Amino acid sequence: MAKLSIRDLALQGKTVFIRVDFNVPLAPGGQEITSDKRIRAALPTIKYALEQGAGVILASHLGRPKGKRNAEMSMAPVGAKLAELLGQPVTVAPDCIGAEVAALKPAAGQVLLLENLRFHAEEEANDPEFSKQLASLCDVYVNDAFGTAHRAHASTVGMIAFVPQAAAGLLMDKELQWLGKATQNPDRPCIAILGGAKVSDKIEVIVNLAKVVDKLIIGGAMAYTFLKARGEATGKSLVEEDKIPLALELMNSLGDKLMLPTDHVVAAEFKAGAENEVVTVIPEGKMALDIGPATIAAYEAVVKASKTIIWNGPMGVFELKPFDTGTVAVALAVANSGAVSVVGGGDSEKAIKSAGVSDKITHVSTGGGASLEFLSGLVLPGVAALTEK
């Protein structure tokens, strides 16, 4: 289902409401933004709308104010940073609905940033009256917040019923393009690399991607639930005992499509620089904290031969050296493969940054939970609600 894009809209002289993801990290006190990455990610869409002669209204949530006004979660610092990045004034509204806000309607080329949507409990409740009030501010709607597309809130779904057209922004477009291609029409061989702590977090992803990929590579702590299900010793490694029957079922259905670690970097304690060794059988009293060199070599060979790679989750405790070796090696292999590579999830993004290869990845998803749900084959409410072409 192709969705309407902002490029399909006639924006000259219109007021466009753009749902952005400005849920930025703030220093204690709420006055200083510690990373402006999400603001920068929305700039192409905002600039496009301004260049087309629209008045722009931007809306986002910030933090978890639980339906109450909280000065430490105000959009004011975001507005100041956005003005700096755009090189033009940005008006920050005192609220996101009401007569005072409506009176601030931006003229062509102007930008109005609404106050935190979640200062109203009606936002997360997808309240129809609140949705209607948001919609009354604009002529057309654009969703550029892929990171919130898996939430059926007033600003992502509810207000669309009250606007004539609802389109995807440039960032949303890009997410749908690359995630869609990787999961629905991939160049082959197509592989998925899944890591992280828990099988339970990735069950739906494993089941869905198994229908698409030629190989499914497993790393991280989740691998040890599979290995224990196969009867292998796991020592003190993290294992989800209640998911062992499921792991066994998945292994039986996936057959040789599934790749698991054959050697491991183990240590007696979970800390940076802990004394460690490479083993093929994990001894009692030790835990696996990274994949070993033979596993790295096997995974690299599969990555090298691939045409499409989907990656979500690290191969080990990559935030503790020296247990980042496997994750960094996989990141380098993916970057140098020449394949279409789609990376989703915050930890995977940190891994490619620490490996210094961000610029060699085809697409890094901006939505952690949303990209996981997309990879799981679920319909994202914020995408489904957009107007079809």
Q: Which of 346, 353, 356, 389 is catalytic?
A: 346
> What are residue 375's DSSP bridge partners?
none
Distance CA 192, CA 343 (A): 10
Please say if 7 is a catalytic residue.
no
Closest CA to 327 of 339, 345, 340: 345
Please say if 67 is a catalytic residue.
no
Please say if 188 is a catalytic residue.
no
Closest CA to 225 of 195, 190, 192: 195
Distance CA 209, CA 186 (A): 11
Q: Which of 14, 19, 38, 236 is catalytic?
A: 38
Q: Any idea which residue has 């299900």 for tokens? A: 229
Please say if 202 is a catalytic residue.
no
Q: Which of 47, 198, 257, 350 is catalytic?
A: 198
Mind telling me the catalytic residues?
Answer: 38, 198, 346, 369
